[in-house]
Amino acid sequence: MPNTGISPPPPIEGLEEWLELVDQALQGLHHILDSCIRSISAQLDYLPGGGAGLPNLATELARLEDCNRMVRLLPQDASAGEEALTVDEVLADVLSIHRYLHDAPDLQIAFAPARSVEPVRVERWALVRVLALLLADAKRLAKQVGTTVRAITESDDSWVCVEFHVGQPTVEETPGPSRGPYAALLAETFGGQVERRAGIAELRLPTLKSRRAADRR
């Protein structure tokens, strides 16, 4: 059966968990925007007499652009359809969202992009949501036990695996969802599998290569 690039509609069960994360991100966004506006306003007060321009304007504009980029990651953009992606670039999007959360501001998240990971084919918004929620689960446990989180990616010809490790070595507790199975159910719509075990929240999803092979059958 040919691939149409149209995924099944996202499941509703547990959607509140994602909406809660969005609400936290928007609260952080409000704080950043308020800070940017205050900074630019303060610089404008000195502009007429100083004549030196706005020395920090480029910094504030970069912060505003980052805000705009983060906001664009939150909606469900089903119109874009599936696309070939690398997991590492999507993880960068996920970390961008999490920078606006104030649930654990001092918690360290280590992420070292892998040298070579197979691309995947998926709707970006769906993969962003699943990974953002799994990272939130790992951070919640890390905050409880006072440790750090590491993001690890690896792949073979068939599967790409993203793991969020809590602690080094990993702790014995399992990072569970805060409300429901939304991440796991959403992952299933693009052929992914969510697994939780001691100290690890994991997503496995088929590679672009394996999806193409399945389409040819």
| CA–CA dist 215, 1 (Å, integer) | 7
Summarised one tens digit per residue, pLDDT across range 151-191 is: 999 999 999 999 999 999 999 999 998 878 899 999 999 99
- At residue 55, the pLDDT reads 65
The verdict on residue 171 lying in a domain is: yes
Percentage, residues of the chain above pLDDT 70: 90
Domain with 101 in it:
15-23+73-216
Total-model pTM = 0.87
Q: Residue 127 above 60 pLDDT?
A: yes
The verdict on residue 80 lying in a domain is: yes
- At residue 3, the pLDDT reads 53
| CA–CA dist 171, 55 (Å, integer) | 47
The verdict on residue 103 lying in a domain is: yes
- At residue 1, the pLDDT reads 45
DSSP H helical segments within 146-203, as ranges?
182-189
Location of structure tokens 């469900």:
76
The verdict on residue 135 lying in a domain is: yes
> What average pLDDT does range 13-27 have in this prediction?
91
Q: Residue 123 above 60 pLDDT?
A: yes
Q: Residue 52 above 60 pLDDT?
A: no
The verdict on residue 147 lying in a domain is: yes
Angle at 31 between CA 139 and CA 140, to 5 degrees: 10
> What band does 70 get if pLDDT is binned at 50, 70 and 90?
very high
- At residue 170, the pLDDT reads 94
Backbone φ, ψ for residue 122 (5° rounding)? -165, 160
The verdict on residue 44 lying in a domain is: no
CATH code assigned at 165: 3.30.565.10
The verdict on residue 170 lying in a domain is: yes
Angle at 185 between CA 173 and CA 9, to 5 degrees: 155
Could you give the number of structural domains in the chain? 1
Lowest mean pLDDT, pick from 1-15, 41-55, 100-114:
1-15
- At residue 135, the pLDDT reads 96
Q: Residue 48 above 70 pLDDT?
A: no
Q: Residue 61 above 90 pLDDT?
A: no
Collapsing DSSP states into helix, strand and coil, what is residue 85? strand
Is 29:70 a contact under the CB 8 Å cutoff?
A: yes
Cα–Cα nearest to 127, from 164, 88, 154, 98:
88
- At residue 142, the pLDDT reads 95
The DSSP call for residue 100 is: T
The verdict on residue 183 lying in a domain is: yes
Collapsing DSSP states into helix, strand and coil, what is residue 152? strand
Cα–Cα nearest to 209, from 116, 89, 101, 139:
116
